[in-house]
Structure 1
Amino acid sequence: MMGNKLKNIMKNIYIELLKNTSNNEITLLKDINKLVKTEKNGKFQYFYISYFQINLIREFILNLDSNSFYTLIPMLSIYGKDEEPYLILSKQILITNYSSPEIINNYILKQLDQALIDFEFNLDNRFHCLIFKYKQIKILI
């Protein structure tokens, strides 16, 4: 009897973690590692977005498995080709199907603005591609 109660509590905690990850503010993977264990095995996949289109960020998030966590590395590429140089815009972000596209978009735009200032270049009238390097991970609670 007690085992089922504990399982339900753990399931509710897991669901709350899913719903709150990168929803009100960005959750970085490095921050969560101190609290819970993660399994990060698996291969990275890539999702390409021309410029910064919030609707494509939303589509990407909505297509994630609703019971899973993912780590996401946002990168900027001028040509959107794997063999070309790219700029990493952030440490790994923890996301789920419940994450806010607006919060993620705003965070990445802020990171991009800082990179443009730090490296003294601009993207005016230049094609560029936002690349999401991501993979599914397991949160062990």
Structure 2
Amino acid sequence: MADTDPEPAPTRGRFDVGAIAAALPESAATMLVDTYLTDRPAASARVFRVYRPTPAHYHAGCDEYLYVLSGRGTFWIDDPSDEAEFGPGQLLFFERGLVHAMPQLLEEPVVFLSVDTPRRAPTDVIFVDPATGTAESFMARNAASDPA
């Protein structure tokens, strides 16, 4: 599937979010691994696990709603002085273009239910300092597959 042309999606669904979260791998070479629940032009919904702190970055094409399913860490939006702890049951929201980061993972696994409006293309991640990450190092689905 191309970043700009999602496959046709069903018009409804029921998802066992806990089971989907539990099926995410214990470790990853990338910062996060995700599973799409829905992938429609108007919005996408994903479950993702974070494996290491994420440097300052933003998304150009969507607003993001992150519901914390498990784990604890720190997160800031728009300004590093805004850093605060998050935990299960909290919702983090930020509009497209707002820089954000997750400097610390305090209790793992850190798993979110994410709703992106409109749909967030998997490669829509821009790191403030390009030396700290790329779309390929950010998300497993963007990483080059191992030819071996």
What is the TM-score of this pair, normalised by structure 1? 0.26
More strand by share: 2
CA radius of gyration, larger in: 1
What is the TM-score of this pair, normalised by structure 2? 0.25
